[in-house]
A and B are shown apart, each in its own frame.
Chain A
Amino acid sequence: MKRIIRLLPALFLAVLVVAACKDKETMDPQPDPTLYERLGGINAISAVVDQFLANVVADNSINGRFAATVADPFRTQLLRNNLIDQVCAGSGGPCQYKGKTMKEAHTGMNITDAEFNALVGDLVAALDQFNVPEQEKNELLAILGPMRPDIVGQ
């Protein structure tokens, strides 16, 4: 009993600290939701990426580039997972992109501006299909746009 009484001040202090922290938490303004959250998280991103890749594979102006990938189901799955990780990580989500750098992945392919634009067109079509708002669409394209020099003409 004596031990419990001796512990009471410590317990009281602990309760005070927890309460103060909780108060601070509620007083802090909520951080703005990340692009990842606004896009709808991993499931929404994977749906957009799947639609994007379906558009690319159906698009015969660029699908020849992906022939070797599509011919191997494992490579297709890997490319899809890498793209989801890339968008998820780039938009502030809890993922880590584990693939090659854009330069490494596209070196030797000699991709043209027209092919790059066609691929971006397929991405925009996928985003429009899911009614992704203009702001989120532009933010996502702004993340991918700077990759152009590492992809085109390599």
Chain B
Amino acid sequence: MKYLRWTLFCCTLLGFSGWWILHKPKSPVDDLPPIQFTSLQLHFKQQGAGKALAAQVRQWPEVSAASFNDVSGLLVVVHTHALPQTELIQRVAAKAQQKASIKVFEASGPQCPVPAEFLYRLPVYLLWFGIATGAFTLMLFYRLRHA
């Protein structure tokens, strides 16, 4: 029991100090709505048609940016989650009067096996770990005192 108490206490310290070292200051960026990128492959015969479409897409309230590149034929739309990708594709296809297929980007070469999201959220996970083990430690100390 004694060992468990001290192990939990060390875990609490580890959790809180890990959070303290790794946590990042808040930024005004955190208040911006999260975005998503959708890249669509399109084919236009008419010069300038793709850019005109991008200009129209940019006017949609859920869209923060849209770019069409004549060389690649890619329409890249930056949009909030209020506009789901499937709906975006349907809307673009209707406007462009053609099938819009998603351009899938694939990572090549060695990649970090730990997901970026996990690394980003690690300080918060450590904080919760510290709180949980801290609560258990307090409970054990309290129980032993009153046993």
Contacts and interface: CB of A to CB of B under 8 A. Distances in A.
Contacts of B77: 54
A interface secondary structure, majority: helix
A12 interface: no
A98 B86 CA distance: 33
A11 interface: no
Contacts of B64: 46-47, 50-51
Q: Contact residue range for chain A?
A: 35 or more
Interface in A61-106: 61, 63, 66-68, 70-78, 80-81, 84-85, 88, 93-96, 98
Contacts of A66: 105
B26 to A, nearest CB: 9
Contacts of B120: 74, 78
B105 A71 contact: yes
B65 A53 contact: yes
B116 A51 contact: no
A154 to B, nearest CB: 16
A34 to B, nearest CB: 14
A73 B36 contact: yes
Interface of B: 24-25, 27-30, 32, 34-37, 39, 64-69, 71-72, 74-78, 104-109, 111, 115-117, 120
B74 A60 contact: yes
A57 interface: yes
Contacts of A78: 116, 120
A124 interface: no
Nearest to B71: A60
A113 interface: no
A38 B120 CA distance: 32
Contact of B105 (A47, A50, A70, A98): A70
A95 B65 CA distance: 22
B105 A88 contact: no
A80 to B, nearest CB: 7
Given A59-B72, A96-B27, A80 B107 contact: no
Nearest to B112: A68
A134 B16 CA distance: 48
Contacts of A74: 115-117, 120
Contact of B107 (A53, A59, A71): A71
